A and B are shown apart, each in its own frame.
Chain A
Amino acid sequence: DAGVIQSPRHEVTEMGQEVTLRCKPISGHNSLFWYRQTMMRGLELLIYFNNNVPIDDSGMPEDRFSAKMPNASFSTLKIQPSEPRDSAVYFCASTYNTEAFFGQGTRLTVV
């Protein structure tokens, strides 16, 4: 298995633009997590899904952020409109049972 695949690896966008981050979890994994990592706040859970259903989105910063999981093999995290404070590395992880496998992350820079 290729592991958790995230795209793009790097994204630079202007303030106010829409940004869409993508994640393909490992086949057979039934939970998917979106995390954000910054120097100031460390690793923060944004939202997670079990069997494609959002379970806890309390970590989503505000209405500008939205996440979907239309099927077991794909998820998106969208920021609209983006702001400079959204600059961070965004990680997707999938789990089967207890162990979480992380993607390589998307480094987002909003200028």
Chain B
Amino acid sequence: AQSVTQLGSHVSVSEGALVLLRCNYSSSVPPYLFWYVQYPNQGLQLLLKYTTGATLVKGINGFEAEFKKSETSFHLTKPSAHMSDAAEYFCAVTKAAGNKLTFGGGTRVLVKP
């Protein structure tokens, strides 16, 4: 079985400050890992993904995440928050292409001016 834990259901950051969202996973096989963003009244949009290869993955809107196998983590970062980053972020794991995605509980990001 696979599972995802996102630490902190709400995060508040100041505009221009570092954004750090934590994600830990459990998987019986090498995982594929994802971060999705959800804006109000919208579906989920892929920010970035790790499948194989380089463990530091860059995504859209200046986000990046690093796969650390030893820590079973896939934390999401952005050096400087923008007001437009206010949204809910979901970490997800799957064990194979075409297999089900298991999501974490989500982290809602509030950006203060």
Instruction: Please report A residues at the B interface, Cβ cutoff 8 Å.
Output: 4, 30-31, 33, 42-43, 45, 48, 50, 56, 91, 93, 95, 97-105
Report 18 cross-chain contacts, Cβ distance below 8 Å, ordered by A residue.
Answer: A4-B43, A33-B100, A42-B104, A43-B90, A43-B103, A43-B106, A45-B101, A93-B101, A95-B97, A95-B98, A97-B97, A98-B32, A98-B51, A98-B94, A101-B46, A102-B36, A102-B43, A102-B44
Pair count A-B, CB < 8 A: 48
Inter-chain contacts of A95 with B (CB < 8 A): 97-98
Inter-chain contacts of A45 with B (CB < 8 A): 100-102
Instruction: Please report B residues at the A interface, Cβ cutoff 8 Å.
Output: 32, 34, 36, 42-46, 49, 51, 90, 94, 97-98, 100-106
Inter-chain contacts of A56 with B (CB < 8 A): 100
Inter-chain contacts of B44 with A (CB < 8 A): 91, 93, 100, 102
Complex CA–CA separation, A33 to B102 (angstroms): 11
A48 lies within 8 A of B100 (CB): yes
Partner pick for B101 among A33, A50, A103, CB 8 A cutoff = A33
Complex CA–CA separation, A31 to B94 (angstroms): 13
Q: Which residue of B lies closest to A91 (CB)?
A: B43
B100 lies within 8 A of A104 (CB): no
Complex CA–CA separation, A45 to B102 (angstroms): 8
Complex CA–CA separation, A104 to B44 (angstroms): 8
Complex CA–CA separation, A48 to B100 (angstroms): 7
Inter-chain contacts of A104 with B (CB < 8 A): 42-43
Inter-chain contacts of A100 with B (CB < 8 A): 34, 44, 46, 101
> Whole-angstrom distance from the CB of A38 to the nearest CB of chain B?
12
Complex CA–CA separation, A97 to B32 (angstroms): 11
B49 lies within 8 A of A99 (CB): yes
A98 lies within 8 A of B49 (CB): yes
Complex CA–CA separation, A2 to B105 (angstroms): 28
A103 lies within 8 A of B43 (CB): yes
